[in-house]
Amino acid sequence: MVLNYGLKNILNKMTKNLILLILLFSRLNLLSAQNQSINLMAQPNLIIILVDDLGYEDVGFNGCKDIPTPNIDKIASQGVKFTNAYVSYAVCGPSRAGLITGRYQDRFGFGRNPLFAPNDPEMGLPLSEETLAEALKKANYKSVAIGKWHLGVHETLRPLKRGFDDFYGFLSGGHQYFPKNWTLKDEHEVKVQFDTYNTKLLRDNTRVEETEYLTDALSREAVYYIDKYKNQSFFMYLAYNAPHGPLQATQKYLNRFDTIKDQKRKTYAAMVSAVDDGVGKVLHKLEQLGLSENTIICFLSDNGGPEKKNASNNGILKGGKSDVFEGGIRVPFAIKWPAKIAAGSVYDKPIISLDIFATAIAQTSFPVETKKPLDGVNIIPFLIGEKKSIPHEYLFWRKFDVNDYTSRNAKGEKIVHRKNIDMLFDLEKDIQETTTLIEQSPQSFQNLKNSYKDWENQMLKPIFLGLGEDLEYSKLHPNRFDRDNNSKQK
């Protein structure tokens, strides 16, 4: 009995020790698994929410009164709102080419809005350039493009050939919003430029039968792809075409704006409200999956509002879409990244859409070398006070075809060359660009002009004909829309 008792005791002790050891090992394993998952999750996800032709003052965070945008406003209130934020061009195509490459688009000849030309491998973003999706692939990101592409229709220029793993949307510069109008089965049924607005949507390379209002469909897909890639680093380029024309909204959204009597403004408001709902769904999904903290969300418009066309409102800014005045290039812009950026921040130094690329690749767990030098900079150190200097001493814009251009410095001095007239403004005191100061400050004018000329010398002429040359292009390419057209498209 004694022996038995002693054996039992020893066995008991051994079992206890064994259990302790097992527990210790599982704890160590757990810790190591946690560390691994921390490493994997260390690099943030990136979502760029690009809207189209939104007015500067048409979001709550910029003072909009008649269109509530509570979800878009959360990006600003839970992150940083920019008061001097720009895009690199005042219309859609070139602005997007700059954003997606992190480089001034004139460096590679993207100085025009591209035409819809499915057989032309040179009508779009040159293959010599690297997209943000291609760069992030080096850090094991999955990338998804949703909505408007506008960077080339030729099979070699489409999203899946430019670093994106998934695509849901359309290739052209705009689109009809109601599925009943999507009557063309593919790009070869297009007969004139604006037929492209009537094509069926694409999922990757396949035309699909979509049934939802376009903005709602894009939001649904955004939520779907966030779920699909929830367990890995992802980049989502969510490019709503709203509130770009044609002005079309569903009753659900129109009903929210019975107080707006102007029909155009009412429809525009409904379209913006649909985008805001979509942003809400995206934010909710991230929250639900526990991804909010380490996801960078950038919200911006691709250019200023064309006030007469879509009833947008650029507030006190002068001019609008396609202008070199502030109304064309200064856009509503906010970034949310709770892991790094304090809620409720405001940043008032000039930044530009080109900075998104440089900012994104600076946050990856693996160093990412870019194919070409970037014009944008990583703005995070400036936003969190690590760097006290400024991201950009100068910013530049050029409209090649009309020889309009502009440049501003960090102090707010801005030259404008428009319709062959030179102007100099002080944006700090005169944001409305009412009073030219060339006579009072000839030296400032000359300095800005010189820096602009230095910059311009590095730029290329446009490498393709643009929207303005639609007829000319069709004459030069009579088989422009034909299927299997092997004729040389030069």
Query: Segment near Ca ion (CB under 5 A), from 85-93, 179-187, 346-354, 402-410?
Result: 85-93
Q: How far is the CB of 301 from Ca ion (least distance, A)?
A: 7
Confirm if 376 and 354 have CB atoms less than 8 A apart: yes
Tell whether residue 92 is a contact of Ca ion (CB under 5 A): yes
Q: Which is nearer to Ca ion, 44 or 304 (CB)?
A: 304
Name 333's bridge partners: 300
Give the three-class secondary structure for 414. strand
Minimum distance, C-beta of residue 342 to Ca ion, in the bound complex (Å): 31
Nearest distance, CB of residue 465 and Ca ion, angstroms: 19
Q: Which stretch binds Ca ion (CB under 5 A): 2-10, 25-33, 47-55, 432-440?
A: 47-55
Distances, alpha carbon 27 to alpha carbons 15, 19, 30, 32, in Å: 18, 12, 5, 9
Give whichever of 52 and 187 is closer to Ca ion, judged by the CB atom. 52
Binding mask 410-429 for Ca ion (x = CB under 5 A): --------------------
- The residue within the footprint of Ca ion, chosen from 46, 51, 53, 113 (CB under 5 A), is 53
The residue with its CB nearest to Ca ion is 92
- Neighbouring-strand partners of residue 124: 152
Q: Does 52 bind Ca ion (CB under 5 A)?
A: yes
For 346, half-sphere exposure in the C-beta direction (CA atoms, 13 angstrom radius) is 5
Which residue lies nearer to Ca ion by CB, 99 or 415? 99
With contacts defined by CB under 5 A, name the span among 90-98, 151-159, 195-203, 376-384 that binds Ca ion: 90-98
Question: Could you give the CA distance from residue 88 to residue 331 in angstroms, rounded to a whole number?
Answer: 10
Per annotation, catalytic residue among 64, 150, 175, 244: 150
CA pair distance 474, 321, nearest whole angstrom: 26
Dihedral, 47, 53, 56, 59 alpha carbons, nearest 10: -60
Number of residues this chain uses to bind Ca ion (CB under 5 A): 5
CA gap 435, 423 in Å, rounded: 8
Active site residue 150: yes
Cα torsion for 252, 62, 173, 122, to the nearest 10°? Answer: -160
Buried b (16+ CB within 10 A) or exposed e, 100-134: bbbbbbbbbbbbbbbbbbbbbebbbbbeebbbbbb
Should residue 202 be labelled a site residue for Ca ion when binding is judged by CB under 5 A?
Answer: no
Q: Which is nearer to Ca ion, 119 or 215 (CB)?
A: 215
Shortest Å, Cβ 304 to Ca ion: 9
Q: How far is the CB of 62 from Ca ion (least distance, A)?
A: 17
**Residue numbers 274-303 binding Ca ion by CB under 5 A:** 302-303
Nearer to Ca ion, 173 or 391 (CB): 173
* Least distance CB 426 / Ca ion (angstroms): 28
| Cβ-Cβ contacts under 8 Å for 127 (sequence gap 6 or more) | 156, 157
Q: What whole-number distance in Å separates Cα of residue 453 and Cα of residue 394?
A: 12
Nearer to Ca ion, 22 or 402 (CB): 402
Looking at the Cβ atoms of 96 and 107, the one nearer to Ca ion is: 96
Q: 64, 92, 244, 298: which is the annotated catalytic residue?
A: 92
Phi, psi of 196 (to 5 degrees): -60, -25
Residues between 301 and 360 that touch Ca ion (CB under 5 A): 302-303
Q: Least CB distance from residue 129 to Ca ion, whole Å? A: 20
d(CA 208, CA 197): 15
Does 105 contact Ca ion by CB under 5 A?
A: no
Which of the residues are catalytic?
A: 92, 150
Give the residues lining the site for Ca ion (CB under 5 A).
Answer: 52-53, 92, 302-303
